[in-house]
């Protein structure tokens, strides 16, 4: 069942269990934005959650994908098949990863995985975004490390940050993702520090894994930075 985190911010329950489960979010600000789409096995639940909030896929104005991983992009085909025709935005470097313009090393475990799955799970018609770009009420922050094009989207009007896999939640605190699931842990830690310096304050922290924080998100991020 969807959880209302704040006015205009909904967490969608995709129905799996940690560490497999990932989160998707719906944001309403006069336009309707879906952030991330879960695994390829999640679309039926994703659609049910969107409809529970009161929308059909065709009502969505855009999808923001924090990065190209199957647990964040896997619902795109079904969304389009169900009538979604809006914009899809992905970080520029991850568009290059998806399209084959950049290829990771096959000797990196995540690189090998991406090389294997990208011919099978491509996403058509995406728009690349870079650091500082604005999409509707959202500002994009390039935060590489987990993926080369990982992007956080902050909506000041909703007082919310959609963090993807920049951080995870564990026991009420934020933590960096597991090293095996990230390309460059040094870059990831620097991205966490840089985002904390540059981003406007936010209350609602919407991360890809774990329980989202309905309040105190900015403070939780700064506590993590102090521990890095």
What digits encode the pLDDT tens for the residues 45-77? Answer: 999 999 999 999 999 999 999 999 999 999 999
pLDDT at 17 over 90: no
Q: What is the mean pLDDT of the chain?
A: 94
Please write down the HEC assignment for all residues of the chain: CCEEEECCEEEECCCCCCCCCCCEEEEECCCEEEECCCCCCCHHHHHHHHHHHCCCHHHCCEEEECCCCHHHHCCHHHHHHCCCCCEEEEEHHHHHHHHCCCCCCCCCHHHHHHHHHCCCCCCCCCEEECCCCEECCEEEEECCCCCCCCEEEEECCCCEEEEECCCEEECCEEECCCHHHCCCHHHHHHHHHHHHHHCCCCCEEEECCCCCECCCHHHHHHHHHHHC
Token pair 């205009």 is found at 8
10 Å CB burial of residue 202 (0-12, 13-18, 19+) is buried
26 DSSP β-pair partners: 10, 34
Q: Tell me the pLDDT tens digit for each residue of 105-144.
A: 999 989 999 999 998 888 888 999 999 999 999 999 999 9
pLDDT of residue 124: 84
Q: Residue 155: which of 207, 123, 97, 199 has the closest Cα? A: 199
């Amino acid at each position: 069942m969807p959880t209302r985190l704040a006015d205009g911010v909904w967490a969608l329950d995709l129905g799996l269990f940690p560490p497999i489960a990932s989160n998707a979010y719906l944001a309403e600000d006069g336009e309707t934005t879906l952030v991330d789409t879960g695994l390829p096995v999640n679309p039926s639940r994703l659609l049910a959650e969107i409809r529970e909030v009161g929308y059909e896929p065709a009502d969505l104005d855009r999808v923001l994908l924090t990065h190209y991983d199957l647990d964040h992009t896997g619902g795109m085909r079904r969304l389009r098949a169900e009538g979604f025709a809006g914009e899809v935005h992905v970080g520029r470097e991850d568009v290059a990863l998806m399209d084959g313009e950049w290829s990771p090393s096959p000797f990196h475990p995540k690189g090998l995985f991406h090389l294997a799955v990208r011919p099978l799970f491509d996403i058509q018609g995406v728009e690349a975004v870079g650091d500082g770009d604005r999409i509707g009420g959202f500002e994009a922050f390039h935060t590489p490390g987990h993926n080369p094009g990982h992007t956080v989207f902050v909506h000041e009007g909703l007082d919310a940050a959609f963090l993807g896999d920049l951080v995870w939640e564990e026991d009420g605190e934020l933590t960096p993702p597991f090293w095996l699931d990230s390309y460059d842990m040094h870059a990831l830690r620097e991205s966490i520090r840089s985002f904390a310096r540059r981003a406007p304050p936010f209350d609602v922290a919407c991360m890809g894994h774990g329980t989202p924080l309905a309040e105190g998100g900015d403070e939780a991020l700064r506590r993590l930075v102090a521990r890095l």
